[in-house]
Amino acid sequence: MNLLTIIGARPQFIKAAPFSEEFRKNNIEILVHTGQHYDANMSDVFFEELGIPKPDYNLGVGSGSHGKQTAKMLEGIEKIILNEKPDGLLVYGDTNSTLAGALAASKLHIPVYHVEAGLRSYNKLMPEEQNRILTDHISNILFCPTQTAVNNLSKEGITSGVINSGDIMFDAVLRNINISNEKYANGAWFDELIRDNGTLPKLNDKEYYLATIHRAENTDNPEKLFSIFKAFSELDKPVLIPLHPRTKKLIKDLNINFKNIVIIKPVGYLLMLYLTSNAYMVVTDSGGLQKEAYFLKTPCTTLRDQTEWVETLADEWNVLSHIDIEEIKIKAQRELACLQQSQPNSFGDGNATAKICEAIINGGQQNE
Asked whether position 292 contacts ligand UDP by CB under 6 A, the answer is: yes
Asked whether position 42 contacts ligand UD1 by CB under 6 A, the answer is: yes
Compute the half-sphere exposure of residue 310: CA atoms within 13 Å on the CB side of its CA.
12
What does 336 interact with, of ligand UD1, ligand UDP, none (CB < 5 to 8 A by kind)?
A: none
Q: Is 206 left (phi over 0), alpha (psi -120 to 50) or beta?
A: left
Angle between helices 10-23 and 168-184 (to 10 degrees): 100
Asked whether position 218 contacts ligand UD1 by CB under 6 A, the answer is: no
Single out the residue of 36, 106, 176, 286 in contact with ligand UDP (rule: CB under 6 A): 286
- With CB under 6 A as the contact rule, which of the stretches 75-83, 143-151, 284-292, 306-314 interacts with ligand UDP? 284-292
Beta pairing partners, 90: 5, 113
Asked whether position 18 contacts ligand UDP by CB under 6 A, the answer is: no
SS3 296: coil
Single out the residue of 1, 78, 87, 127 in contact with ligand UD1 (rule: CB under 6 A): 127
Site for ligand UDP in 200-219 (CB under 6 A): 212, 214
- Exposure class string for 9-22: b at 16+ Cβ within 10 A, else e: bbbbbbbbbbbbbb
Asked whether position 39 contacts ligand UD1 by CB under 6 A, the answer is: yes
Beta pairing partners, 31: 5
Single out the residue of 29, 84, 128, 311 in contact with ligand UD1 (rule: CB under 6 A): 128
Single out the residue of 145, 288, 299, 350 in contact with ligand UDP (rule: CB under 6 A): 288
Q: Would you tell me how many other CB atoms lie within 10 Å of the CB of residue 54?
A: 8
Compute the half-sphere exposure of residue 105: CA atoms within 13 Å on the CB side of its CA.
28
Asked whether position 190 contacts ligand UD1 by CB under 6 A, the answer is: no
Residues identified as active-site = 214
* One-letter amino acid of 260: N
Residues binding ligand UDP (CB under 6 A): 10-11, 14, 212, 214, 242, 266-269, 272, 286-289, 292
Residues binding ligand UD1 (CB under 6 A): 9-11, 36-39, 42, 63, 94-96, 127-128, 214, 245-246, 249
